[in-house]
Structure formats: structure tokens, C-alpha cells
Structure 1
Amino acid sequence: MTPSAILESALYVTDLDAAEKFYTGGLGLHLLGKVEGRHIFFRCGPGVLLVFNAEATRVPPAPDARLPVPPHGAVGEGHLCFAATAVEIAGWRAHLEAKMIAIESEFEWPQGGRSIYIRDPSGNSIEFAEPRIWGL
């Protein structure tokens, strides 16, 4: 057996309100769900981006919880990469600059394909890259 795709990816943040503003207002993602103080979920193409308050996800569920999701989380800055064509990357560059979101790095990979990197309000590294950097 081999997984066919990644359905969801998670990032952990220190400020959910700032993250919500960044991912909706800055990146234009559609908010799917929200639990105050715990998480915000966004649609991204066929997948879902889960953004959690890192401290809240470490708390084990109550024994009688309707959704007994085990504790999880991460400490420190994570990374997420959004797929984008070369034309879309140019558009993202202009969009991010207009939104006053600093581009931390931009380069062409030796095997081909371009990437740009930014940071979310919690310091997570967010990349926009051509899928061909992975031969896709």
C-alpha cells in the first residue's frame, strides 16, 4: 500500500487571529472551520490547511470526547509549500508586495523551477514553488 495524496497539512501558530488575517486576507484562502483558541482550517485546492494553536493541541481529549483526536503539535517554525506556475509566482510576487508581505528569498533551483519564500506571523516558512522542482 502507498498513500495516493496528502489530504491535509498542519502548521502550528502562536496567534490564531493574526494567522487567520494572514491566510485569508494575505493569501486569499477560504476559511472552512474555526474553534476559538484552538484552530482554523482552510480550503486549498483539493486539500486542507490546518492551522492550530500549538498549546491547545497538546491537551488530550476528554475520555468521552465525540472526536478523540490524539494530542499533537510542533515547537518552532514549520514549513509549507504551495504549488504555483512560473506565471503564478510572478503574480504572487506582485500580490505579496502590494500586501506589504516581505519576500524572504527568491531563486531558481539548479534542476529547474522557481521558488519564493515568505513568513507567516508565527514565523512559519511559506513557499510558492513550481512543481517541477520535484519533477512533477
Structure 2
Amino acid sequence: MCMTMWTSASGDGAAACCYRPAMSDEPRPVPPSHLLEAALYAEDLEAAEAFFTGVLGLDVVVRVPGRHVFFRCGTGVLLVFDPRATAQPPKNPDLPVPPHGAQGPGHACLAVDGAALDAWRAHLEAAGVEIEADFRWPTGARSIYIRDPAGNSLELAEPRLWM
């Protein structure tokens, strides 16, 4: 394994990392079957919960006040963490999740049937959610972009976008 560290080109002093795996003659296991969870970050978890349940209709799976709220989205889970809490080492040694977090807005894309996108647009507008963009990709798939209360970019898109 080769780990290379360098300073970012922007000159902001941030370190970047590039992982280059060592070549191996061992066969690689079967690739992962699907994305199980994705994470966004929001300091106001109550506002995030109100948005994801009230506007998008997702169900809460787990809530730990001041740390996270997780939502069921189809067969996956959307994790929304308070980055101030998850930047700290875990307090429970039985669950040694490494510290993590992000600065600035993230992005997640939620699959929506193409026939329902007009209804989603009307619903979002009626809920006072600004539509940032609504367009068709070169593949013909349509996407609608909005922001959650934390400023994360959310995309509602036809699944055929990536087929």
C-alpha cells in the first residue's frame, strides 16, 4: 500500500491523500451490491428531521438527540449527522466508529419515478422549497435540485439517470 500526502493546489494548507493499493495476484471479492447508506451533515437536526419527514415523507429509523437522525429511503438509509458531534471520538468502545464530518454542503440524489416528478415539483413549491434546477440530462433522465435546511444539495431524479 502506498500513501501519498500533499498540500492542496488551492494553497489553503489543506492536506490531501491519495491511496494507491498494492497490486495483488489474489482474486478480488465480489464488488458491493448496492449503496447501503449515505451521509449528510446538519447542525440543526430538528430542522433536518422536520424537512426529511414533513416535506420528503421519509420515516425516522434512529434518532440520537444532538448527534444524528437516520431516515429510511427505499432499501437504504439516509444518515444526517451533526458534524460537531461526529468529529469527536466515540464514547462507546463497543461501537468504535471513526470520527467523521464535513464542512460545507453535501449532495444526495433520491430516486423518484419520472411520472411523479411533476407532482413532486408542485409539492415542493407548495411547501415553500425553492427549486434550484429542473432539467433533463443527455440520457433523457430528469432531475430536480433543491436544498435542505442545512444547505445540502438534494436531487430528485429518475433512476434511469444511471442505467
SS of residue matched to 1:42: strand
Which one has the largest radius of gyration?
A: 2
SS at structure 2 position matched to 1:81: strand
> Identity of counterpart residues, as a percentage?
60
Q: 2:71 is matched with which residue: 24, 37, 42?
A: 42
Range moving further from structure 2, 126-135 or 47-56: 126-135
What is the match of residue 59 of structure 1?
88
What CA distance in whole angstroms lies between the structure 2 residues aligned with 1:55 and 1:73? 8
Provide the aligned C-alpha RMSD in A.
1.1
1:81 correspondence with 2:109: yes
Distance 1:49 1:99 in 2: 21
TM-score by length of 2: 0.79
Q: 1:101 deviation in Å?
A: 0.9
Question: 1:109 — aligned with what?
Answer: 137
- Which stretches in structure 1 are left out of the alignment for 5+ residues? none
CA–CA separation in structure 1 for the residues paired with 2:113 and 2:65: 35
Shift of 1:66: 2.6
Query: Following the alignment from structure 1 to structure 2, what is the Cα–Cα distance between the partners of residues 53 and 25?
Result: 19
Match for residue 98 of structure 2 among 55, 67, 70: 70
The DSSP-based 3-state class of the residue aligned with 1:55 is helix
Whichever residue aligns with residue 31 of structure 1, its letter is V
TM-score, normalising length: structure 1: 0.94
Runs of 4+ deviating beyond 2 Å: none
Residue 146 of structure 2 corresponds to residue 118 of structure 1: yes
